[in-house]
Amino acid sequence: MNFAVKVGSTKERTIRISSAQTTSFLWEGENVLSTPSMISEMEETCRLLLKEQFIHLRDWDSVGTLVNIRHLAATPVGASVVFRAKVVSADVRRVLFDVEASDNLERIGDGKHERFIINVTSFRDKFSSKQKQLARL
């Protein structure tokens, strides 16, 4: 399978922060966007960028293999955040992205994210085999 991922391709998406995406240990009540939630949204932006390029390939998707992210500023529930991803390199099925997130006031996060393009059926078969092996231990 030839995956001609275009270096320089970009994706931008905006979401509104919900209370389900916040940290809960700082103070009682609605809080700030958590780092894991921010990273998850960055990953999803990258995944969607790849899916747009391979929409016709139903059995193919991608999984995250590396994150190197800085969380730079707090963002409250209800704020809109723009997530941006840009392909900076592609080596067959391994794709590296620059990612960033900004609210209406400032950049709140940035970094690198790597994804690997997978065949979903093959991935699921390998995973099922591993589950069975672990169950026997």
Residue 46, pLDDT > 90, answer yes
Instruction: Give the lowest-confidence range in 54-58, 84-88, 93-97.
Output: 54-58
Tell me the whole-structure pTM to 2 decimals: 0.91
Average pLDDT on 18-27 reads 80
DSSP E strand stretches across 72-131: 80-91, 94-102, 107-119
Q: What amino acid occupies position 105?
A: L
Residue 57, pLDDT > 70, answer yes
Q: Give the architecture-level CATH label for domain 10-135.
A: Roll (3.10)
pLDDT digits (tens, 9 = 90+) for 87-117: 999 998 999 999 999 999 999 999 999 999 9
Residue 124, pLDDT > 80, answer yes
Domain range annotation of the chain: 10-135
pLDDT at residue 23, rounded to an integer: 83
Residue 28, pLDDT > 70, answer no
Cα–chain-centroid distance for residue 68?
12
Which single residue is written with the structure tokens 């231990």? 137
Question: What share of the chain has pLDDT > 90, as a percent?
Answer: 81
pLDDT at residue 22, rounded to an integer: 87
Question: What share of the chain has pLDDT > 70, as a percent?
Answer: 93
pLDDT digits (tens, 9 = 90+) for 61-73: 999 999 999 999 9
Strand bridging mode 10-16 / 60-71: unpaired
